[in-house]
Amino acid sequence: MVKIGNITLGNFPLLLAPMEDVSDPPFRAVCKDNGADLMYTEFISSEGLIRDAIKSRQKLDIFEYERPVGIQIFGGDEEPMAMAAQIVETTNPDLLDINYGCPVKKVVCKGAGSGILKDIPKMVKLTEAVVKATRLPVTVKTRLGWDDNTKNIEEVAERLQDVGIKALTIHGRTRTQMYKGNADWSLIAKVKNNPRIHIPIFGNGDICTPEQAVAARQKYGVDGIMIGRAAIGYPWIFNEIKHFMQTGEHLPLPTVLERVEVCKKHLRHSVAWKGDVVGILEMRRHYTNYLKGLPHIKEFRQQLVTCSTLASVEEILDKVAEHYKDHIIERVSPLADNSLPVNNEVADCNVYG
């Protein structure tokens, strides 16, 4: 059984990645319903928490039905990160995660995210400061290194374990790769097979089918995998992987009606958490992915993104369900043509790909 501190996650847990502008409570709710074992909030600025910024504080919202759930923070200085850890602890999550993977300039230039991969001693000191500041289990998400010449993830794993982290998630790319090229899982496997490593090692990058998940487990030996964009508009990916691992067979694909019903549940959570105006507005980014694979869907989608009330959106979604009730969507990679419009300056930051 995989454990993070006192948190038991099962034999091969599936983690939902922290994605900026995506992994909010409404999205996490539908992923939890569909088999996610451990979920994370959107990443939160340590400086924002200390300044009591409204957006940063709102990201601390977690609900009992989500557990176990972790809150992820980022920053480049010890004191603000330690203070942020103490603030996070007051909201009673199950664990605290540190983001050392975000590759975008506005984060990296502050020595945060994957920017800290240029200074491993600082990374270790910052991590130690966070571990000492909280009673929560502390985990880390990072990349293989800054570039091809500094793939130092084995050293990083040992040193972070030595200062007290309880699990490590590794995105199989360097910072300079951003989200391009293929993730290199061979280095993730080296960390997992290092006899000095005794904490759980989770792999991240390019997992979008049950077959790929099985291959990651069998070939690279990781303790679990983290899934990001493959779950956007397709939260069924978690249960599909679990079923395939247990039986070697695929679950039936969700019907159009099932897609619409989960989309409506996501929408209702969004409105309940954010209010009518913001909840409906921010939900618009998800319709394309929920309805992917439906022919001639453009007209319905255009109606959905212009509706301004919950009732009107649900009415259009019901029309979609009726119009396509006999249509069978073919099985394709959930990552194919992923068109979720996100803010690329902060989006996921450390999970996309």
Asked if residue 232 lies in contact with residue 26, where contact means CB atoms within 8 angstroms, the answer is no
One-letter amino acid of 186:
S
Q: Are strands 201-204 and 224-227 parallel, antiparallel or unpaired?
A: parallel
Asked if residue 172 lies in contact with residue 137, where contact means CB atoms within 8 angstroms, the answer is no
Say whether 58 counts as a known binding-site residue: no
DSSP secondary-structure letter at 349? S
Asked if residue 14 lies in contact with residue 242, where contact means CB atoms within 8 angstroms, the answer is yes
Torsion angle in degrees (nearest 10) through CA of 206, 12, 238, 225: -20
Residue among 14, 20, 97, 27 nearest 66 (CA): 27
Say whether 229 counts as a known binding-site residue: yes
Q: What is the rounded CA–CA span in Å between residue 269 and residue 260?
A: 14
Classify 99 as helix, strand or coil.
strand
- Residue carrying the six token digits 């501190």: 5
**Extended strands (E) in the chain:** 2-4, 7-10, 14-16, 38-40, 44-45, 69-74, 95-100, 138-143, 167-171, 201-204, 224-227
Say whether 323 counts as a known binding-site residue: no
How many residues are there in the chain? 353
Say whether 72 counts as a known binding-site residue: yes
Active site (annotated) includes residue 102? yes
Of the candidates 31, 102, 208, 349, the residue annotated as catalytic is 102
Q: Which two tokens stand for residue 69?
A: 């759930």
User: Helix count (H) and strand count (E) of the chain?
Assistant: 15, 11
Q: Which two tokens stand for residue 181?
A: 């090229």
DSSP secondary-structure letter at 30? H
Say whether 286 counts as a known binding-site residue: no
Q: Which two tokens stand for residue 127?
A: 């991590």
> Binding site residues, as ranges?
72, 141, 171, 228-229
Q: Which residues have a catalytic role annotated?
A: 102
> Binding site residues for FMN, as ranges?
72, 141, 171, 228-229
